[in-house]
A and B are shown apart, each in its own frame.
Chain A
Amino acid sequence: MAAFSTLLKSFVRNANLVKNGAAVSNNLLRPNTSTALEAVRKMSGHEMMHIKPSRWSWNRFKDLLNFYVMLGVIPATVVITYINLFIGPAKLAEIPEGYVPEVHEYYAHPITRWMTKHVKKSYQQEYEVMCQHIYETDYARKLRLAEKRVHQKMQEKQDSQAYYYEPVTGRNERHIKSMLERSVENVGTR
């Protein structure tokens, strides 16, 4: 994609810059050249080779920058222009009786509507999920508080053997046992 740099090259090639072989003040750069040699050198009448540092990297950078920026800008512009022209924003209307609108029908612009329908979680969904989360954590907290109060009472009164009872289920032990049996089948030993 040499588009950008070739556009500029044609303007730059004809400009009177040092890199294009314009005259340099010889008093500063080459004080020891004689005027006669210089005059002979310039007598060829052909195009001379311009000795200058390479601008290849800079040109390539410009080309790549242009390419990758346009790769995003052009499709986005086309799509957004099409949507704004031919689909267009919705008009405001009263909610009809007995009708519960979908979440995406609360927004005007078609892109916002699409995102609400396919990408985003609705306000109601997040709200209800939060309510459930609060309820569950509050339930767990109340259970823990009650357990703490029971333990405190047992410590105070010291009249219950339940303090020494460890609540253990056999579920984990059964699982470990079945794993052991399976490994015996596979490997041969425990």
Chain B
Amino acid sequence: MEDPPRAPAHNPFFRFVHAVQNTIDRPVTWFRESVVTPNRPDHVYYHQKFRRVPTIDQCYTDDPVCRFEAQQQFNRDKLVDGEIVQLVRQRLKECIAYEIPDQDRKCAKLKEEFDKVSESFCMKYADLGPYNNVKDAYMKQKHRMLWERRHGKVGTGMKNEDEPL
């Protein structure tokens, strides 16, 4: 991760400040570029890609191996989705920090995006308790769909219980 080169300063004050910074920066940079970097071997690393396995709704009830694999996939997906939410939230935070006091107007789109992303994350993973379970998440989806069938979309209020479906 190399830093972008600094623009040359014409102002004597900034020239002085840069000179003071360079008393430490130049020797260290020289050491790194001449002694350290040429002697390092070029090795790389990769990000692991996992194959998709059948999810819990495609498993038979008496197949615990399928359920184990679905649970592991659920855990991995939860990590990935958590990181996605973090990235979107970080973008919103940076926008707010930069645009204060205009953040309501200028960051509205990012806020909408963050609200949507966190809502879908919470729809899938939240309110399940401390021990996450892919079967509980599946049941949560089933209950939500039943509720939506009876009362309409989540967020539009409950209908009267006495009315027929």
Q: What residues make up the interface of A, taking CB atoms closer than 8 Å to B?
A: 85-88, 90-95, 101, 105-108, 110, 113, 127, 130-131, 134-135, 138, 142
Contacts and interface: CB of A to CB of B under 8 A. Distances in A.
A91 B65 contact: no
A186 to B, nearest CB: 50
B64 interface: yes
Nearest to B31: A85
A87 B42 CA distance: 9
Nearest to A89: B45
Interface string B28-71: 00000000100111111111110000000000001011001100
B36 A92 contact: no
Given A86-B40, A131-B69, A135-B65, 11 more contacts: A91-B42, A93-B45, A95-B49, A101-B48, A105-B45, A108-B45, A113-B45, A131-B65, A134-B64, A134-B65, A135-B64
Contacts of B42: 91
Interface of B: 36, 39-49, 62, 64-65, 68-69, 72
B65 A92 contact: no
A101 B48 CA distance: 9
Contacts of B41: 87
B40 A91 contact: no
Contact of A91 (B39, B44, B72): B44
Contacts of A110: 43
Contact of A106 (B40, B46, B69): B46
Contacts of A107: 45
A92 B69 contact: no
Closest 10 CB pairs of A and B: A93-B44, A90-B45, A90-B43, A88-B40, A95-B46, A108-B45, A106-B48, A138-B64, A101-B46, A86-B39
A130 B68 contact: yes
15 contacts: A87-B40, A90-B44, A90-B45, A92-B45, A92-B47, A93-B45, A93-B46, A95-B47, A95-B49, A101-B46, A105-B44, A105-B45, A106-B45, A110-B43, A134-B68
